[in-house]
Amino acid sequence: MLIYFVCLILGFLLFPKKTLFYRYSLGVLFAVDCLANVALLLGDYRETISSRVGKAYLRGVKWILPVMWVIDLFFLVFAWEKHHCVKNIQDNVGSKSILRWK
């Protein structure tokens, strides 16, 4: 199972965006991200963790800063994307969160 997720992450990072494997990897990783948001963080099943962290940052939740820095650093190093959490806020989802962060 670990090898499967390592292959998905490598496919997401290394393959061109228009390839079938990239789109497959992106879809599976998005689903896992949403599942982790629900199962571990009691969030909305349609929202990613990055979106939720970005919203909490904009609302002024102080303890979320280290979490946001780690996520942003990961995407800066591996995907060359700055300010990932704030850029990927999903405004149309998040209302069904069980546990709200302010």
Q: Within a domain: residue 59?
A: yes
Report residue 17's pLDDT band, with 50, 70 and 90 as the boundaries: confident
Would you say residue 9 lies in a domain?
yes
Residue 82 pLDDT greater than 90, yes or no: yes
66 in a structural domain: yes
2-11, 22-31, 61-70, 76-85: which is most confident: 61-70
On the question of pLDDT at 102 being above 80, the answer is: no
> Is residue 50, in this structure, part of any structural domain at all?
yes
Q: Is the pLDDT of residue 1 over 90?
A: no
In a domain, 98, yes or no: no
Region 40-58: mean pLDDT is: 95
The answer to the question of residue 95 being in a domain is no
Number of domains within the chain: 1
Dihedral (Cα; 55, 48, 102, 80), 10-degree rounding: -40
Query: Does some domain include residue 22?
Result: yes
Q: Which residue has the higher pLDDT, 89 or 80?
A: 89
Residue 10 in this model has a pLDDT that exceeds 90? no
28 within a domain of the structure (yes/no): yes
Burial class (CB in 10 A: 0-12, 13-18, 19+), 43: buried
The mean pLDDT of the chain is 91
Q: Report CA-CA distances (Å) from 47 to 16, 30, 77.
A: 25, 9, 23
Host domain of residue 79: 2-87
